[in-house]
Structure 1
Amino acid sequence: MGRREELRAIDEAIAAAAGGGFRFLALTGEPGVGKTRLLNELAARAAPEGFLVLAGRASEYEREVPFGVLVDALGDHVPDVVPKLPPRVGPAAVARLSGIFPTVADRCEPPPAPEPGADANPVAARHRLHGTLRLVVQTFAKSRPLALILDGLHWGDSASLGFLDYLVRNPPRAGVVVATAFHYRPDIPSLARLIQADDGLHLNVGCFDLGETAEYLGAGFSRARQRELHRVSGGNPFYLEALSRMDGAATRDPQAEVPLSVRAAIQLELGGLSEPALLVARAAAVAADAFEPGLIAVAAGVPESDVVTALDELVVSGVVQPSATGRFRFRHPLVRNTVYSTAAAGWRHAVHARIARHLEQVGAPATLLAHHVENSARYGDAAAIDILLRAARAVESHAPSASAFWFSGALRRMPEDHPERVAVMLKVSRLHVVAGELEQGERAADEVMRLLPRGEGTDRARAARFSAMTRRLLGRVEESRAVIMDELRAMPDRESPAAVHLRLRLVAENLLRMDQDAARALLDDIPEHSPSWDAACTMAVAALRPMCSYADGQIDRALGELDTASHLLAITPDGQLAESVDSLTWLCWSELLMGRPADASRHFERVLSVTRATGQHFIVSVAMCGLARAQTALGGLARAATTADEAVELAEMLNAGQQIVFGLAQRSVVEYWKGNGADAVDFARRAVDTAGDQGEWWGKQAELALGLALVETGQAEAGARSLLEAANGFARPGSDLVTLVQVSERLAELEAARGRHAASAEWAAEADKYSHASLPVSTGLAALARAHSLLSTDPGAAAEHARGAAAVLAGNEYPLDAGRALLTAGTAAARASRRDTAKADLRRAAEVFGGCGAASFLRRAVREQRRLGIYVPVRGRSSGPHELSRRELEVAELVSAGRTNQQIAEALFISARTVESHLAHIFAKLGVSSRAGVVSALRSPS
């Protein structure tokens, strides 16, 4: 009835997929409104067009099963696809898929054992798994288009929703329509992202109006009865269907999600069933959303022949429906819900126990057993605890939410003196955080603290640190500090390792708040070493000292402490760093801010190795943001973009605002250097909006990124305001010293470009004021600021200052800023009529920018060269045709063939982001700014 717009959208999606495109449909609306009916209509229309139609439904009672809705839709068919996967992914794909789809493990060759630690990083593991699943979907659609229909996603597990989020952002290169239906829940961010998918269409399915209700009910109902049924049902088709079978007045509880009369109508329908059929219906409602007669015979405890007879009755009555796969399912989730609620709780417990025993006898994996064990195991049942622990560990890397659920199930059965109890509780807390379930992570950490006595104790102190960390990630900074201070008050020995790590956490909190005085006072109260400390504790204290001294302006002291900490890190094995890894990130950031990006990059890599090996994945995002910043400083823009993207992805998975800000800000800076000003502004605005007005250092870094991006896009006034905000208006407490010099230099450049020479000179003086002789990056930027201020009044002197700045910056591993200095030197030399010097400076600047992929800065260098009446070809790092590397030439040729970035990625087995990075280098080397320019350049002689 009605649904004209919905049917038109369905037909358009089918046509697009039939033509080889990808379409995503999201149908939302209240329960019973007809979303499933529309999905069925899509299937009915797609099948005659030659589509392969695969359908699955998420289940209310199996929400913890990872990838449950995908297993329902694809599970029977994935083994047929595995042999068709490209050889390069075959064995690894089987290994990943067999952990999700039991049919792969049963029907395919056993996969090789994974390398130790191969999936230790949850982001990398999830990315690889998502890529494999996407390839599976694409392979399904190779011979004919695919309609993948997924119903009830509001009950979908987080792993399934995460994959769909990935799929709409990285669509398969084949004719695929993915149609989904769910009740929209704003508390599930992944559902919100699906509604906003770029290649998708969101359809909010509404209820019938009174005319459609009357047409639906037909002439057998009086107008008064039609109006009454419409009022009570609200025009909901499912409710209408159920209520129309009842005699008498319909009632509705305004607080109930489903009208009481609807439940009564379904129960009346069930009352007409025979006792054997009702028994089978109840057993099926407990057992699974999609079920087979054999399993229901086990669940109900009756012969399979009796189940088959009962199913015939249930099908005739319309309670259940057969499917093409040979399974059965209830005609609607509300019917299953009602049947489930009529079964006694004790009887349901026994059904789960029977199913669990049966699955264990036939050798089912722990992940299939876990759901039924969780619903039937007794306290202290060692075998059940073991099954739940094995299931949790099996999905830990790719489904942390399900893993935490099953670990929690094991905890509920563990006796108080179980040796693994505290370790598992801490594991649950970490997994919840990795899954982005910060409140649950906080509660789990607090539970450990309630379990253990106050005072001395490593496990309790570790739980307190984690509880404080989750509160910070949730934005409750004052609570975070309060947890630490409360715990410290109860510790008798303030110099024990457990207490010291808590005190260092308090130091870090003050550094983030830019309260240098408080941080210094706290750290000065901690000795450098104690006989009771292990290597981790000594390392942690040493790692934080340089940042405190640097923030306090004691640069020479900070550099000495940096050397000491770096030496300690070099001689400390990874196995002894687990407790100090969060403090180690401060050492790396200190190296970054004090102009040692190569050291920072190397040490961030080590931090990442330790965090992944020890399961501290909540630190990975911060470390990756720092690594991206180091890679940017070193001129590795392509690597930096990929690293920052991964950092943002993990931070979003954690729902950690501070880490999202870090990642977005760094992503903005990368795009600024690459010359993508609009993207740089977009990333930076998102970072600033996420940071809000908390006034901490990480928010100031977002303002700095926004200022750079705004100036790059010609928004000088707004950019200047943002740069000043990044420096906190040069008031105390303000940004760190090098950031103050950086802001001063940029403002000196901006004022010089606007012809405000006096203002430019004032900012150059500010840069001089904050620079420090022991920090070459600061003196180099200060010299560049002086060059900007002299560019119009004394270009010869400006060139000398800029050339000196370039030498300092290049010698201290800052090639991009050195390139900017060379560009300024060349421009100034040209104004001073020093043509040969200008040519040399501009050539070197172009080489730097071309080698780093800084396209817009390269274009500026080329523009200045042309103003001198010369043209110097833009050269990269190879001697191939058109000065492109082999891979760049492959990408360029595919661009000329009209391939999209996604198609190029598929053809070369690389990511779309890597293609973008190659294109930036290609544009720079060819001196073009578009794909059309690449085509023209390749057709001309090299």
Structure 2
Amino acid sequence: MWTVLGPGRLADVLLGRRREQETLDRLLRDVRGGRSRVLVLRGEAGAGKTALLDYLADTMPGDSVSRAIGVEPESEIAYATLQRLCAPLMGHVDRLPEPQRQALEIGFGLRSGPAPDVLLIGLAVLGLFAEAAAERPLLCVVDDVQWLDRMSEVILTFVARRLDAESVALVFAARSPGDEELLGGLPELRVDGLPDGDARVLLDSVLPGPVDARVRDRIVADTHGNPLALLELPRGLSPAELAFGFGGRNASPIANRIEQGFQRRIAELPADTQMLLLAAAVEPLGDVPLLWRALERLKVGPDAAAPAESAELIQLGARVRFRHPLVRSASWRSATPAQLREVHQAFADVTDPRQDPDRRAWHRAHAAVGLDEEVAAELEQSADRARARGGHAAAAAFLERAAELTADPKPRAARALAAAQARFAAGEPGKVPELLAAAELGPLEPLHQAGVERLRAQVAFAVNRGRAAGPPLLAAAQRLEGLDLVAARETYLTALGAALHAGDDLRPAAEAGRALPAGDDPAGLLLTGLSTWALDGYEPALPQLTRALTEDLGLLWLTVPVAQEVWDDAVWHRLTAWAVGAARSAGALFVLPTTLTLRAGALLADARLADASALLDEARSMQEATGLAGDPFAALTLVSLRGEEKPALELIESVSRDAGERGEARVTAMAHHARALLNNGLGRYSAAASAAQQATGHLAVTHWALRELVEAAAHAGETAVAAEARDRLAEHTLSAGTDWALGTQALADALVSPSDDKYEEAISRLSTGRLGFLVARAQLLYGEWLRRCNRRSDARTYLRPAHELFQACGAASFAARAARELTATGETVRKRTGPVNEEELTPQESQIARLAVAGKTNPEIAAVLFLSPRTVEWHLRKVFTKLGITSRRELEGALAT
């Protein structure tokens, strides 16, 4: 890519990278102009990603650049890379809100305290970047992201998606192929091999003598123009050895061949120099004084550095810097196990147990030979500290190694089980089965054995909520009976929820759950209510289900659907609004996607499509950052209400296909319901009736599907089908007795046997709650019937408000349907007038404006919306411009207008 003059120095002329250089220059111009930018450089090892990061860093003042690199030996240490990236910025930490500052300091081990949620740490890092950039634009670069620890990856992905107007550039280098899922969805720049001409120029700069042109072309072809391969592979080879290229075609990956080249060069160095390189590779912080103390233990003197620096493999200055990350891995992989243990022991000896007990324990663990209970106990303590900082992946790594070092089978099994639980808590279910198998090799207490079965079942349900998840959960719950009554009830409840989700028989879990003593905790109340419904029917279960609708984040995936089933829109809105607020204030990142999607569903019922869309966008960002899935019901409903047929059908088909493969009957029914809703809006009633009939077979979707079926069948002339659906709907609505239930039933009655009384009752009852969209649909249906009765003036009375609401909220297909009816009454329907889209408030701007009207400060708004205060300020300036105002005092009046 460029001629390398020495470690950390680049030639003045870049070869073959004009496109990449222009992209990076534009990025920095944007950042200097006040916007934030994120970029992921993707390419194979040696393609020049690190050199491009150097180019970026060289264009910024030194105190405006923060760099970090993922290091393989530390890929299990929580926040390891993130802490290195943030270290130069910690002088700004006192400017953060107190909860965020405390979370960051606890996560980094700088203070003790309760385990912080990862979301609060993410907000703290976002704020730290913004505060550092308040003085001058900030460049943060992270190399070798394939070796990021899990927590650093989650936090940096979260921050990358929230940066906006902070004057921060966040640039990553990711190796490919193999790491495409890392940082997925962020802007990318592919870094491929050099063009042939530039590759030949670079190769000529390092060839030891003249080489036949055909051989040179073969070398360029074999390396695919990889700059590091062109620079490194010819080293040490004579013209005779290069006469046939690199010794014949080699099918191994370029990265492996480059690393092997570095290994050959390392092998030619003196033994002390090799040991120095190995010590530098094992020590990830680049801490030169610590390195020299360890080398003194290893009896390696300062003179050992000169050969490594002369060979341009390493640079020792204020910090340790390798020529390329592959030099580090080459040195590490060249060492024997005994050499690695010796180096780790040296670092353990010179690491202060009070200042850095966890890294000392980690070194001791790698230095241990055979079994060592003292080191295992030390690792167990480190796991406790890691959990206290929210580092479940790090805790799991400590516990896994502790189990390996434990001689006594009983504590060995207990530590393996604890490691499995930590892996599950870290969102790594794929690593749990092997640890559970290791736990089962030792003698387990009955409670621990039940815990193994429960965790195995929970993993199965988390990975695939289809039919395979229910039986293991049921078996685990049965084993827990008599051992842990609370855990047994919770597991039966999960088994019941799994059976409901999969469309399986609910009776086995319901009968077993009912046999337990009833619990008055949230899980116990919900288990009693759902068991009664499954065994005795809907009406007897109603009082119990209503009592079970308590505020519990862990049960929200069940309580919100239950609130819908008992037709209580007030509780539906209250629960979801509380849940989003609770998840935000607690920083509960791992439940936030679910709370956001469930809240979006409630907003859709109230015709707040833009607000629901904003929450779904936020949930999608969270899901991409954490890998967690949310409930698809709101997303399916939103795309169906908007009435854009192609994107709606694409999403419906995708969700339906994936659910079918996993055996998730509830999600399949949701997709059928969405298709019915879409077709009703488009006026395709036969298609809507067919889709709705397919959705009515699942308990958790039935009443939504029956409502669509009555409307579709009545319009399609299928009177008998409409009447049957109306009667089935009445089995629940009349028992529930709420205004939502009775209003829905009145509308179904009116569709089957039209009358003014029934339509007016439906509108009146539905208007008492937060069900704006259903009110507008009732007005549309009443207006359609009045128009068919040739009562045009009366019809317009109901069609106008329905059309206005549909048009205002963005329900295009229903708006078009209402417009057709209005036109048929003789009224001229004008298209919506007003400002063009660029001048309207976006959903995010609308949220910020409403929070400002509510008296929230910029930092408070930032915490609610996961933005930095500078981004909030930037959006508010745009809001003022669009509304033609100059201060917060004018906001409320402008929004009302």
TM-score bin (small chain): 0.7 to 0.9
State the alpha-carbon separation in 1 of the partners of residues 401 and 615 from structure 2.
36
What percentage of residue pairs aligned between the two structures are identical?
A: 19
Counterpart secondary structure, 2:45: coil
User: Are 1:298 and 2:294 matched, yes or no?
Assistant: yes
Looking at structure 2, the residues matched to 610 and 73 of structure 1 have their Cα atoms a distance apart, in angstroms, of: 30
Alignment partners' CA distance in 1, 2:255 and 2:174: 19
**Alpha-carbon separation, structure 2, partners of 1:890 and 1:262:** 51
**Equivalent runs, 1:201-240 vs 2, <5 Å:** 201-207=188-194, 209=196, 212-213=199-200, 216-218=203-205, 220-223=209-212, 225-227=215-217, 229-230=219-220, 233-240=223-230
Match of 2:281 among 257, 280, 285: 285
Residue type of the alignment partner of 1:226: R
Counterpart of 1:19, as a letter, is G
The structure-2 alpha-carbon separation of the partners of 1:685 and 1:53, relative to structure 1 and needing over 3 Å to count, comes to: farther
Aligned partner of 1:801 in structure 2 is 758
Letter in 2 for 1:784: L
2:81 corresponds to 1:69: yes
**Amino acid across the alignment from 1:891:** A
Report deviation, 1:509. 3.9
Q: Is the 8 A contact 2:707 2:729 kept in 1?
A: no
Counterpart for residue 36 of structure 1? 50
Q: CA RMSD in A?
A: 5.3
Q: What SS does the corresponding residue of 2:77 show, helix, strand or coil?
A: coil
Alignment of 1:644-683 (within 5 A): 655=627, 659-660=629-630, 662=631, 664-669=632-637
Which residue pairs with 1:558 in the alignment? 541
Residue 331 of structure 1 and its aligned partner are, at CA, apart by 0.6
Offset from partner CA, 1:289-313 (integer Å, 9 cap, x none): 6231443322451689x33x43344
For 1:375-414, list aligned pairs within 5 A: 375-377=366-368, 379-382=371-374, 385-391=377-383, 393-394=385-386, 398-414=390-406
Tell me if 1:47 matches 2:15. no
**1:320 CA displacement:** 0.5
8 Å CA contact retained: 1:138, 1:172: no
CA contact (8 A) 2:57 2:139 kept: yes
Q: 2: distance between equivalents of 1:706 and 1:905? A: 38
- Greater displacement, 52-61 / 813-822: 813-822
Q: Give the match for residue 927 of structure 1.
A: none
Contact 1:780 1:804 in 2 (8 A): yes
2: distance between equivalents of 1:280 and 1:859? 73
Code of the aligned partner of 1:6: E
TM-score (norm 2): 0.76
Aligned partners of 1:607, 1:932: CA distance in 2, in Å? 33
Pair 1:734–1:560, CA change in 2 (3 A): closer
Q: Distance in 1 between matches of 2:46 and 2:341?
A: 29
Q: Distance in 1 between matches of 2:248 and 2:283?
A: 31
- TM-score (norm: length of structure 1): 0.73
What SS does structure 2 have at the residue aligned with 1:16?
Answer: helix
For 1:835 and 1:452, locate their aligned partners in 2 and report how far apart those are by CA, in whole Å: 81
Residue number in structure 1 paired with 2:333: 341
TM-superposed deviation, 1:858: 12
Q: Structure 1 residue 768: deviation in Å?
A: 3.4
Aligned to 1:180: 172
CA distance in 2, matches of 1:29, 1:37: 12
Q: Which residue matches 1:696?
A: 664
**Residue matched to 1:317:** 311
Shift of 1:747: 2.3
Please give the per-residue CA displacement for 1:464-523, whole angstroms capped at 9, x wherever unaligned. 2321232233238454356457769999999988877766655444332323xx323553
Cα separation, 2, equivalents of 1:486 and 1:941:
57
Map 1:138-537 → 2, pairs under 5 A: 138-185=130-177, 189-191=181-183, 193=184, 196-197=185-186, 200-207=187-194, 209=196, 212-213=199-200, 216-218=203-205, 220-223=209-212, 225-227=215-217, 229-230=219-220, 233-245=223-235, 246-247=237-238, 248=241, 250-251=246-247, 254=250, 256-257=252-253, 262=258, 265-288=261-284, 290-301=286-297, 306-307=301-302, 309-322=303-316, 326-361=318-353, 363-377=354-368, 379-382=371-374, 385-391=377-383, 393-394=385-386, 398-414=390-406, 416=408, 422=414, 425-451=416-442, 457-475=446-464, 477=466, 479-481=468-470, 483=472, 506-515=495-504, 518-520=505-507, 523-524=510-511, 527-529=514-516
Alignment CA distance shift 1:485-1:615 (3 Å)? farther
Give the distance between the partners of 2:724 and 2:594, measured in 1 at CA.
Answer: 34
Distance change in 2, residues 1:906/1:727 (3 Å):
farther
In 1, distance between residues paired with 2:25 and 2:743?
A: 62
SS of match in other structure, 1:150: strand
SS at match of 1:189: coil
Matching residue of 1:923: none
Secondary structure at the aligned position of 2:506 is classed as: helix
1:129 to partner: Cα distance: 1.9
State whether residues 66 and 399 of structure 1, in contact with CA within 8 Å, keep that contact through their aligned partners in structure 2. Answer: yes
Q: Paired residue for 2:840?
A: none
CA deviations over 1:291-342 (Å, ceiling 9, x no partner): 31443322451689x33x433443233120246xx10221112222222233
Aligned with 1:310: secondary structure?
helix
Contact 1:741/1:766 (CA < 8 Å) preserved in 2?
yes
Q: Which residue of 1 aligns with 2:703?
A: 738
The equivalences for 1:563-574 within 5 A come to 566=548
Counterpart for residue 8 of structure 2: none
Q: Mind listing any 5+ residue stretches in structure 2 that lack a counterpart?
A: 1-14, 833-844, 873-878, 886-890
The residue number in structure 2 matching 1:774 is 735
1:348 positional shift = 1.9
Distance 2:895 2:600 in 1: 37
Aligned to 1:81: 92
How far apart are the structure 2 equivalents of 1:786 and 1:181? 62
Instruction: Give the one of 710, 716, 726 matched to 2:678.
Output: 710
Supply the distance in 2 between the matched residues of 1:701 and 1:483 (Cα, whole angstroms): 24
Q: Return 404-413 or 685-694, whichever deviates more.
A: 685-694
Q: Secondary structure at the match of 2:182?
A: helix
| Residue aligning to 1:899 | none
2: distance between equivalents of 1:720 and 1:462? 51
- Aligned residues of 2:706 and 2:729 also touching (Cα < 8 A): yes
Give the total of aligned pairs. 836
Cα–Cα, structure 1 residues 526 and 243, in superposed 2: closer, same or farther, change >3 Å? Answer: closer
Deviation of 1:692 after TM superposition, in Å, equals: 4.3
SS at match of 1:241: helix
CA shift for structure 1 position 164: 3.4
Q: Secondary structure at the match of 1:375?
A: helix
User: Which amino acid in structure 1 is aligned with residue 694 of structure 2?
Assistant: N
Separation in 2, partners of 1:98, 1:163: 15
